[in-house]
Amino acid sequence: MNFDAKLDEALQRLHDEGRYRTFIDIERRNGQFPHAVWTKPDGTQEPISVWCGNDYLGMGQHPVIIEAMHEAIDATGAGSGGTRNISGTTVFHKRLEAELADLHGKEAALLFTSAYIANDATLSTLPKLFPGLIIYSDELNHASMIEGVRRNGGAKRIFRHNDVEHLRELLEADDSAAPKLIAFESVYSMDGDFGPIEEICDLADEFGAMTYIDEVHAVGMYGPRGAGVAERDRIMHRLDIINGTLAKAYGVMGGYIAASAKMCDAIRSYAPGFIFTTSLPPAVAAGAAASVAHLKRDQALRDLHQERAKILKTRLKGMGLPIIDHGSHIVPVIVGDPVHTKQLSDMLLDGYGIYVQPINFPTVPRGTERLRFTPSPVHGPGEMDKLVRAMDELWSHCALNRAELSA
């Protein structure tokens, strides 16, 4: 086989569909987020402001975290030097797991190198622990959950997004004695809509199923201590396994599950994605622990975040832009065509120094391509004005396109 030609073909397909991904080379500067420096393909540099990051609260540059990471790196050096089982468990990992268990009101928590791995490793391991397990998975679950469910060799049922009636039908159709688990998210990050947590917990109770929730786009930001939407809705205790990330609102890196001590012990003991990989660097664990601890108390930051998101949505809506608003912190503006979305993103970056990555298939369904804005507490009124003006100008400039786009 001509391997090179095959690679060319595969890449060309993406170009033809307008969804070839180009990484924007940006340099964040400590203390200046959302301002950053963009290195263009020709090597020249330009200041930009980042509007599409998942450092939702600006914690990635918070002094409390930076200090904790400096202290840990000075004390212990760079890497952990091993898997959790073989010399890679440190006081920093233990402290972070304790902090996370406390956050979610669970007996234990288990750290992974990312929430992607946490989802994939946990969901692919559960059928080993519960033979015959059927997993009911929301159709819009994140790729990491889909991968975990797909690889696990167990039975799966996909229910229509947030459709509890469809979920009920699927549960009713299966053997009442079969072990069951319902896997879903609290905030779906592309539309910013919320999962029907309480209804799903009710169904789980009725059918004797376990519940697995991904709170990746909610931890740090919702609930009085930042434990997520389930905490906000006072139903955290009804969820058997809670998945979260330390890389988005907590501003660092890593992922976890929080659950009963026995569940964490079993996943720890059986999941290859936990066992056979080097643990997080201690300094990363220290920074994440400092962030989680800090956000348990900083309600003002959460309030400011929500306020900024509300203001941006109100202003864009006021200009007649097609935004999706489910009341969360995510602000998607639907363009509906991959080429136009990329053009708009390029024009924002080149003409206004505003960086918002185009979101295309397969991250979102075809025809719903979008610009997804993530305002944070550190996106001040000046940045917001600049963005709103730029969007207004571009929408007028592309008036013809806009008619086409919304057709």
- CA distance linking residue 263 with residue 266, whole number of Å: 5
Contact region with ligand PLP (CB under 6 A), list: 149-157, 173-181, 211-219, 388-396: 211-219
- Pick one of 103, 109, 115, 126: the residue that binds ligand PLP (CB under 6 A): 115
Q: Which of 312, 390, 381 is nearest to 353 (CA)?
A: 390
By CB under 6 A, tell whether 185 contacts ligand PLP. yes
By CB under 6 A, tell whether 245 contacts ligand PLP. yes
Count of residues near ligand PLP by CB under 6 A = 14
Orientation angle between helical segments 381-397 and 338-352, nearest 10 degrees: 130
Using DSSP's 3-state secondary structure scheme, residue 354 falls into strand
- CA distance linking residue 375 with residue 314, whole number of Å: 13
- CA distance linking residue 236 with residue 241, whole number of Å: 10
Closest to ligand PLP by CB, 187 vs 394, is 187
| 248 counts as catalytic | yes
Continuous segment of H or E residues that includes residue 63: helix 63-76
Which stretches does DSSP call E strand in 162-230? 180-185, 187-188, 193-194, 210-214
Closest to ligand PLP by CB, 92 vs 184, is 184
Binding to ligand PLP by CB under 6 A, coded x per residue (else -) over 293-322, reads ------------------------------
| 259-278 positions binding ligand PLP, by CB under 6 A | none
Q: How many CB atoms lie within 10 A of CB 76?
A: 18
Q: From the CB of 120, what's the least distance to ligand PLP, in Å?
A: 9
Q: From the CB of 61, what's the least distance to ligand PLP, in Å?
A: 18
Contact region with ligand PLP (CB under 6 A), list: 8-16, 123-131, 210-218, 232-240: 210-218
Q: From the CB of 116, what's the least distance to ligand PLP, in Å?
A: 3
Q: Are 371 and 60 in contact (CB under 8 A)?
A: no
Q: From the CB of 145, what's the least distance to ligand PLP, in Å?
A: 7
- Pick one of 90, 122, 186, 189: the residue that binds ligand PLP (CB under 6 A): 189
| 140-179 positions binding ligand PLP, by CB under 6 A | 142, 144
Closest to ligand PLP by CB, 137 vs 245, is 245
Q: From the CB of 191, what's the least distance to ligand PLP, in Å?
A: 12
Amino acid at 98: A
Structure tokens at 113: 């190198």
Q: Which of 106, 156, 180, 248 is catalytic?
A: 248
Q: From the CB of 64, what's the least distance to ligand PLP, in Å?
A: 20
Contact region with ligand PLP (CB under 6 A), list: 38-46, 112-120, 273-281, 323-331: 112-120
- CA distance linking residue 61 with residue 45, whole number of Å: 22
Closest to ligand PLP by CB, 55 vs 240, is 55
Closest to ligand PLP by CB, 152 vs 391, is 152
Amino acid at 95: R
By CB under 6 A, tell whether 116 contacts ligand PLP. yes
Q: From the CB of 331, what's the least distance to ligand PLP, in Å?
A: 16
Using DSSP's 3-state secondary structure scheme, residue 326 falls into coil
Contact region with ligand PLP (CB under 6 A), list: 89-97, 113-121, 225-233, 269-277: 113-121
Q: Are 124 and 148 in contact (CB under 8 A)?
A: yes
Contact region with ligand PLP (CB under 6 A), list: 97-105, 115-123, 195-203, 359-367: 115-123
- CA distance linking residue 73 with residue 295, whole number of Å: 22
Kindly give, in sequence order, each residue whose CB lies less than 8 Å from that of residue 29, ignoring residues fewer than 6 positions away. Answer: 35, 36, 37
Buried b (16+ CB within 10 A) or exposed e, 9-37: eeeeeeeeebbeeeebeeebeeeebbebe
Structure tokens at 118: 């946490």
Q: Are 254 and 80 in contact (CB under 8 A)?
A: no
By CB under 6 A, tell whether 119 contacts ligand PLP. yes
Task: Give the interface with ligand PLP as residue ranges (CB under 6 A).
Answer: 114-116, 119, 142, 144, 185, 189, 214, 216-217, 245, 247, 255
| Catalytic machinery residues | 248
